[in-house]
Structure 1
Amino acid sequence: MTKAIKLLSALPQKQRERLMELAREVSFPEDARIFEAGGTADRFWVIRSGDVHLYQQVTPTRRVKVAGLGAGDLLGWSWLFPPYQWDFGAEAFSPVRAYEFDASAVLALCVEDPLLGLSLVRTVAEVLAHRLEMTRGKLLEQYEVSRRSR
């Protein structure tokens, strides 16, 4: 598996500096629900410290962890794509500090600076490709475990 793409370090310095002008420092206590699947995706975060779990609600009483995120990781990409709703839920697994970005402000900056927009979309695409690869690996592991237990 390839190494995780860290959004801020993957962007060219000039674009990273412009993006960081829009950053707001936030924190979430352990067990805080950061967002729920189906909610409005109007922001995203870059985790500075702590751990976040992404989960999928599979029944009204059961949810499954689909990914764990930590320092440097991008939290939230649904703000880039219609219908701008979260595909998963996210919960702080430990106290979390993060940079928060307002999606509309970032999108406006991308229109103003197309190079930043292209760099940002490419980097988010790399993050998504990496997460898809991780998910594929987990599914294969689960398949092998279930196959051996038959």
Structure 2
Amino acid sequence: MTKATKLLTALPPPQRRRLMEVGREVSFAEDTRIFEAGGTADRFWVIRSGAVSLDQQVTSVQRVTVASLGSGDLLGWSWLFPPHRWDFGAVAFSPVRAYEFEAEPVLALCDEDPQLGMLLVRTVAEILAHRLEMTRGQLMEQYTVRRRGGGL
């Protein structure tokens, strides 16, 4: 498995500075629901400290954690792709400090600076590919455990 790409450190300093100009520092208390699946995806965050759980509602009362994110990780990518709706929910697993970026000014910045736009899209794609690979590995592990246990 390759090391996870971190959005801010993947950008060269000039592009990182430009992106940070439209960001702001935010914090979330432990157990705060940051967003809900199906809601409007109009921003993203880079976690500075703390942990966030991505979850999926599987029944009316049960949620399943699908990923855990920590320092340096990108939280939210649905802002970049239509229909701009969150695919998962997110909750602060511990107190979280993050940089928050609203989609509209970031997209305007990308229009002004096509190099930044390409680097941002490429980096988000690398992050998504890594997360997909991690999920595939987890699914294969679960399948193998079930097969050995005779569950399938």
TM surpasses 0.5: yes
Aligned to 1:56, the other structure's residue is in SS state: strand
Following superposition of structure 1 onto structure 2, how do residues 10-89 of structure 1 map, counting pairs within 5 Å? 10-89=10-89
Query: TM-score normalised to the size of structure 2?
Result: 0.98
Deviations 1:8-44 (A, max 9, x none): 0001111000000011100000000000000000000
Deviations 1:45-97 (A, max 9, x none): 00000000001111111111111100000000000000000000000000000
Aligned to 1:40, the other structure's residue is in SS state: coil
* CA-CA distance at 1:149 after TM superposition: 1.1
Q: How many residues align?
A: 150
Letter in 1 for 2:64: V
1:109 paired residue number: 109
CA distance in 2, matches of 1:25, 1:104: 17
CA distance in 2, matches of 1:146, 1:28: 37
- Give the ranges of 4+ consecutive aligned residues of structure 1 lying more than 3 Å apart after TM superposition: none
Unaligned runs of 5+ in 2: none
Aligned to 1:59, the other structure's residue is in SS state: coil
* CA-CA distance at 1:126 after TM superposition: 0.2
